Amino acid sequence: MTDTKKSAAKKSAAKKGTKRIAIYPGSFDPLTNGHVDVIERALEIFDEVIVAVLHNPAKKSLFSSQERVDMIKDSMNGFKPVQVDTFDGLLVEYARMKNAVAVIRGMRAISDFENEFQMALMNRKLSKDVQSVFLMTGLRWIFTSSSIIKEAAQFGGDISDMVPRPVKLKLMEKFPKLNRS
Ligand code: PNS
């Protein structure tokens, strides 16, 4: 066994008996069923998933970070292993503060890969303590994204089966045309 492997084994032994926490960071503007699918898959591996909404007032978003948090909480319906929070600054610092062992990112298609790869390598450079874990979304959600849902909803397109119900209700408040569909 190499020294690196020994140290990894030691770390993993030390973690036994403790909760394995993963951070699922993102803009979530808004949460989609694709995101929910990733959360469910992450819970197959980790004991707790913290859905961490990026709070960045400089970034233009449809929903405020509080609205995004509330929609996620409502959609998760108090399901204990899922916590919802906001973060700002460096993701790896936040992960360290939460004692998380991994950062989860969903992958839909090859087009996601380049950006995700770059982010993961930057995060690894900034911290050796947190691993990036990529989870493939279910085929059903492969073309789903927050931006495309917002675009369709804006013009009254039916997005009912792409977002949890609490998100649909908030989108209806923002886009009056959606009310008529
Ligand atoms: O849903 P998104 O917009 O693709 O999520 C991107 C997010 C929030 C994961 C990313 O922008 C992020 O981690 N921001 C925090 C700042 C940071 O740590 N940057 C260094 C790694 S690139």
Quick one: which of 22, 5, 17 has its CA closest to 131?
22
- pLDDT value of position 13: 46
Distance 178 CA to ligand 1 centre (A): 30
Query: Ligand 1 within 6 A of 91 CB?
Result: yes
Which residues sit opposite 51 in a β-bridge? 24, 84
Q: pLDDT value at position 104? A: 98
Quick one: pLDDT at residue 111? Answer: 83
pLDDT value of residue 30 = 98
Distances (CA, A) of 100 to 23, 48, 80, 162, 165: 6, 9, 17, 29, 29
Among all residues, which ones are annotated catalytic?
35, 59, 108, 146
User: Ligand 1 within 6 A of 54 CB?
Assistant: yes
Q: What is the pLDDT of residue 138?
A: 94
Residue 55 CA to ligand 1 centre (angstroms): 10
Instruction: Report the atom number in ligand 1 closest to the C-alpha of 28.
Output: 1
| Alpha carbon of residue 41 to chain centroid | 12
pLDDT score recorded for residue 82? 97
Residue with the nearest Cα to atom 6 of ligand 1?
A: 26
Distance CA 112, CA 114 (A): 6
The mean pLDDT values, 10 residues at a time, for the chain of 181 residues are 52 66 98 97 97 94 97 94 97 97 94 94 96 96 95 96 97 87 59
Q: What is the pLDDT of residue 177?
A: 84
Q: Is the CB of 106 under 6 A from ligand 1?
A: no
Residue nearest to atom 7 of ligand 1 (CA): 26
Mutate to test the pocket of ligand 1, among 23, 24, 27 (most ligand atoms within 8 A of CB): 27
* Protein residue with its CA nearest to atom 9 in ligand 1: 26
